[in-house]
Structure 1
Amino acid sequence: MNTLKQQILTGERALFKACNRQITDSIFDHGESPLKESSNIKVTDSIFKWKYPFWYSNKVHIQNSYLEDGARAGLWYTDGIDISNTTIKAPKALRRSKNIKLDSVDMPNASETLWMCESIVMKDVSVNGDYFAMNSNNITADNFRLVGNYSFDGCKNIEITNAKLLSKDAFWNCENVTVKDTFISGEYIGWNSRNLTFINCTIESLQGFCYVDGLTLINCRLLNTTLAFEYCQNIDIDVSTTIDSVKNPYSGVIKAEGIGEIIFDDPQIEPSETTIITLREAQYAI
């Protein structure tokens, strides 16, 4: 493997179609697409300052490095991405890529990042930005932290463990989502989705979980959760707290410490299709 060390690389396509390169202690300055069409690239202790560093690349390893604001749209159409101990400050960092591993990565400006990607593993990743991970599939995340709205829209096959998500409109239009041991705060969680499972989670969500087919909550805590489960079917809800209000679920089971108000005001819904079990008597509104 050829080695470049302590280089300042400038100009458009500075290392176009580079192959089998080790790049260390270097700076990619003014110049678009420095490593476009590259293959088997290992970058350590380096800085990217300009846009489109990796497009149409294969086997990219980035360690102990920094992608500045200007390195926007950094890794697109790329297969085999391994990034560790790195800060990605630029937006739109990953798109239409696959086989992605992120370990100890900070993304303080991650708006529109990880779109339409496939096979993603994240560990100890921190994200700040709206529209994270839109239309991506096969995602696992552990010790994941997110501040940003409209996350994971249109995704399939997600497993998240030990996370903190501050995100309005999270998990919309999703399919096959499992979230464990996680704190979530954000309005309107999970609308228009199929097969959502939350285990040992604390969730605060105004009008959360509506229009869902196949919703399971196991040993969860619901805080400030009003008008929940509207037009949901095949639900299995087991929570250890009081639910502020439930409105027009289609079918399933709801077990809770208590329910402040149960609302059935749609004549097309049959209340008997939903079994509701509480330790304290609920107030019905029909």
Structure 2
Amino acid sequence: MKEYQDQFFEGERPLFGEHDANIVNTTFGEGESPLKHSSNITMKDSIFKWKYPLWYSKHVTVDRTILETVAHAGIWYTDDITMNDCSIQASKTFRRSSHIKLVNVHLSNAGETLWTCQHVRLEHVQANGKYFGMNSENIYADHLDLIGNYCFDGAKNVEVHHSTLVSKDAFWNCENVAVYDSVINGEYLAWNTKNLTLVNCTIESDQGLCYIDHLTMRNCKLLETDLAFEYCSNIDADITSNIVSVKNPTSGKIHAKSIGDLIMDPSKIDPSQTTITTDTKITKRESA
């Protein structure tokens, strides 16, 4: 195992193709692709200051390391990488990569991060940026705190626990998403998605949960959520709060504590295909 400790590298590709190496307290200064095509690398307490630090790499473990702002597009086409207690200030990190594990990682500029990746595990991750997780598959997140619109657009096989997502248009165009014990805040939630399950979740969403096929909700709250379930089919929803308004669900069953306004337009849907029950009287309109 090669050892690099207390080193400073600059210039293009200083450790290109490096393998079986332990890197400690090392700074990679100006110069692209410092560890391109590397493999079997462990790294601790180090800094990347420039572009494309870990492209086409395999079997990498990174602890307590910083990717500064200019180290954007930092980890692409890489397989099997674990990062613990790291700070990533750069955007567009992780693209077309697989077997990614992030634990106690802060992504302060997570715009266009985790695109078209597979087998991703996120534990106690904080991220801020738009289009997080786009077109990625097989994602598990526990204690993910995300602020940024359009997260997980086009993603498949996503499981989320104990998380907070502040995101407009979250989970659009997805397949097979399950969210447990989480808070989601943002309008137009989960349009055009198939197989969405929400359990013990608190949701606030203007015109959220529309155009979904197979929506399951258990013990969920919908805070100030209006025009929900439009053209939503195969619904099985148990809502423990008031819903401001429900509009033109296509099929299934909905139970809520109360519904402020129920809109069922027979010229657009067949109202008999959806069973709606509440604990209080419903105000109903037949067209809108």
Q: Same fold (TM over 0.5)?
A: yes
What secondary structure, in the 3-state scheme, does the structure 2 residue paired with 1:257 have?
strand
Distance 2:43 2:268 in 1: 60
CA displacement, residues 127-178 of structure 1 (integer Å, 9 cap, x when unaligned): 0000000000000011110000000000000110000110000000000000
Distance 1:83 1:68 in 2: 15
For residue 225 of structure 1, what is the amino acid of its counterpart? T
Kindly state the Cα deviation for residue 268 of structure 1 after the two structures are TM-superposed.
3.5
CA displacement, residues 259-280 of structure 1 (integer Å, 9 cap, x when unaligned): 0111122513110100001011
Counterpart residue number, 1:201: 201
For residue 98 of structure 1, what is the amino acid of its counterpart? S
Counterpart residue number, 1:191: 191
Counterpart residue number, 2:92: 92
Counterpart residue number, 2:102: 102
CA displacement, residues 77-129 of structure 1 (integer Å, 9 cap, x when unaligned): 00001000000110001000000000010001000000000001110000000
For residue 126 of structure 1, what is the amino acid of its counterpart? Q
State whether structure 2 residue 37 is matched by structure 1 residue 37: yes
Distance 1:259 1:266 in 2: 19
Counterpart residue number, 1:233: 233
Distance 1:223 1:200 in 2: 13
State whether structure 2 residue 197 is matched by structure 1 residue 214: no
Given the superposition, is the C-alpha separation of residues 20 and 176 from structure 1 closer, same or farther in structure 2, using an over 3 Å criterion?
same
Q: Percent identity?
A: 53
Counterpart residue number, 2:267: 267
What secondary structure, in the 3-state scheme, does the structure 2 residue paired with 1:197 have?
strand
Counterpart residue number, 1:76: 76
Distance 1:284 1:143 in 2: 39
Number of residue pairs the alignment of both structures matches: 286
Alignment of 1:112-261 (within 5 A): 112-261=112-261
What secondary structure, in the 3-state scheme, does the structure 2 residue paired with 1:240 have?
strand
Structure 2 spans left out of the alignment, 5+ residues: none
For residue 123 of structure 1, what is the amino acid of its counterpart? E
Counterpart residue number, 2:49: 49
What secondary structure, in the 3-state scheme, does the structure 2 residue paired with 1:69 have?
coil
Counterpart residue number, 1:10: 10
TM-score (norm 2): 0.98
What secondary structure, in the 3-state scheme, does the structure 2 residue paired with 1:54 have?
coil
CA displacement, residues 162-220 of structure 1 (integer Å, 9 cap, x when unaligned): 00110000000000000000011000000000000000000000000110000011000
Kindly state the Cα deviation for residue 235 of structure 1 after the two structures are TM-superposed.
0.3
For residue 142 of structure 2, what is the amino acid of its counterpart? D
Higher mean displacement: 123-132 or 260-269: 260-269
Distance 1:251 1:85 in 2: 46
Structure 1 spans left out of the alignment, 5+ residues: none
Which stretches of structure 1, 4 residues or more, deviate above 2 A after TM superposition?
none
- Decide whether the 8 Å contact of 2:265 with 2:271 is kept in 1: no
Distance 1:76 1:207 in 2: 36
CA displacement, residues 209-255 of structure 1 (integer Å, 9 cap, x when unaligned): 11000001100000011000000100011011010000010000000
Counterpart residue number, 1:65: 65
